Structure 1
Amino acid sequence: MTAASQTIEVGGARPYRIRIGPGLLDHGAALAAHVRGRHVLLVSDSHVGPLYAARVVAALNAHTPAQVVVACVAAGETAKSLDGFAALLRELADLGATRDACVLALGGGVVGDLAGFAAACWMRGIDIVQLPTTLLAMVDSSVGGKTAIDLAQGKNLVGAFHPPRAVFADTTTLRTLPERELRAGFAEVIKYGAIMDARFLDWLDAHADALLARDDAVLAPAVARSCAHKAAIVARDPLEHGERALLNFGHTFAHAIEAEQGYGGDVMNHGEAVAAGMLLAARLSATLGLATDADAGRLQALLDRFGLPTAMPPGLSADALLARMRMDKKAAAGGLRFVLWDRPGTARLVADVPDDAVLDVLRPA
């Protein structure tokens, strides 16, 4: 571990450690410590694999005799499908993977979700180690054990809770991340401040330039603080029966936007949709009298500071988005539920939100 590295312990029934800092993909001994058997499937995508897969394989080969096979899926959300899932199961079958095999997920949230779900299902569950290479994956999808794939009817409708054995977030991988993807990741970072740490919002505003410049000295603390917030919630509520739902601030709107616009082509990515969704949630909070319009304005200013969108894509129907929300796995039988805030840093789950209030914030002013 380098001086810039930080460690977060995730508690609960299946505790594990998150390591954050530069150069972690080269720590072969640390990676190999989580390989228990003879088979390793390293899953990456067509963008990340050529950059980092050989480096990880070399680091592992220096410290474990296990057979390491690389499987690369197509980059993008469309890989997180039933076909993509089946392809990884075939890779595990061809490898002859036994119950002590290990899957390494090297990439962003799509790779982490897809590889994690394959690991959860192969022989009823084998080890998964997350190696996130995007900011979004480092602070969100790689932590907490949620795995899933998409259906045409909606995002993440098929999945399982399957905590990793470890997470290694190598911040140097963010140097090759496209600018748009880096900015999108900050939506989830901002979310942690919005739901539980108002001072973090001030810190992010003060360090925005250094963060966007990919300075390891501020990236590692930002990722660590985000992971610490998520880890604390996950340890208390591993299966999302209560408090963990707060992590979905903005996501009910975001998932509806993503599903309605489709997952291919020039559309909002997940982080961008979360940014727009958080502002919609803040405005809905104001509409319901829970928070103020000024709070929503401050959130919008911070999102603007990080170059994130604060409006829905043009051409989406408010009624169609509302219908998508009813299909969301977070919806309850009694009506729509949203994570809303009373003020920055304080959020709660609100049930039976009236359709009219939701439509008011979805329709252009």
Structure 2
Amino acid sequence: MAAEKGRGATLNGESRRFALPERQIDGDWLDMAEAIDGALPRLRTQVTVEHPRTIIARNSSPDIAFSQSINAYRGCEHGCIYCFARPTHAYLDLSPGLDFESKLFAKPDAAALLRRELGKRNYVVSPIAMGTNTDPYQPIEKDWRITRQVLEVLAETRHPTFITTKSDRILHDIDLLSDLARDNLVAVMISVTTLDPKVARTLEPRAAHPEKRLAAIARLAAAGVPVSANMSPIIPAINDHEIESVVARVAAAGARDISYILVRLPHEVAPLFRAWLDEHHPDRAAKVMAIIRDLRSGRDNDPNFGSRMKGQGVWADLIRTRFVKARRKAGLGGEKLALRTDLFRPPAGAQMRLL
């Protein structure tokens, strides 16, 4: 399959984890369509409305710093080839490849569901994370504004939240973020994977330009919003040579700190990533995968808590040492930000909870 312009994945095969067919039974016409009719039309983004019963997801993972999260969307138009959330589309009988970045699901009831859940008598306040699975500020947020609506509920109830994104679209909500920041109720993390626009164009094709992300860090910091950065993921022989420059640039932009995650290739992400390497970096594809396997105890992926984010072995130690030195040189780090939970007030009319 030829690479689709403006998309990350070069494949769109069905997942085999659930015994789904490699292709649809009636899909053979696609093999001949281009020869008969000429070039196929460009892939368009489709959005389907989803009506879940609840909106707050909960986890107990020991290496994740939050227990509650909200995902306004399923799938992500940014098309990041490395995205560890891609396999979730297999549960919908869709491909973790191009389907994940072009067949999206929006949850317009998110704010109403959140209001209902926050109003429950037994609700326990804990920071809600957004952007942990798919980006809350991906391009379709411009029209759907679901993340904005969720933020409005969080601001109204004075509820703490963490937000992770690789889009400068977050600046559209700087009024709400500034309001929350005044009471120490929000922290933002901007993902800066690379400073090279040529790499970004294939690695994360519909995400914001690296310079726009740096500008977003500067704007948020100037507005008093606590903002940090995340170099996620670090991919050996693709962007690891940029560690020092990325750390220096985010520090200069006003980030309070920076963290990193090594590339993860769970389930269908591994073959998608290998196909991406063959398409865009055939000269070093074997080298990249060899280093990744060295980081992951001889496998494409390590699912174990503790080691899955940072890796193991000589390469992992080298990357960790470089990152720590670069961070120290840039003057980043210090006291960890703890968001307040004592200001929470239930939504208006929430079962007379205060009585």
Q: When the two structures are superposed, what TM-score results if normalisation uses the length of structure 2?
A: 0.29
**Which has more strand, going by share of residues?**
1
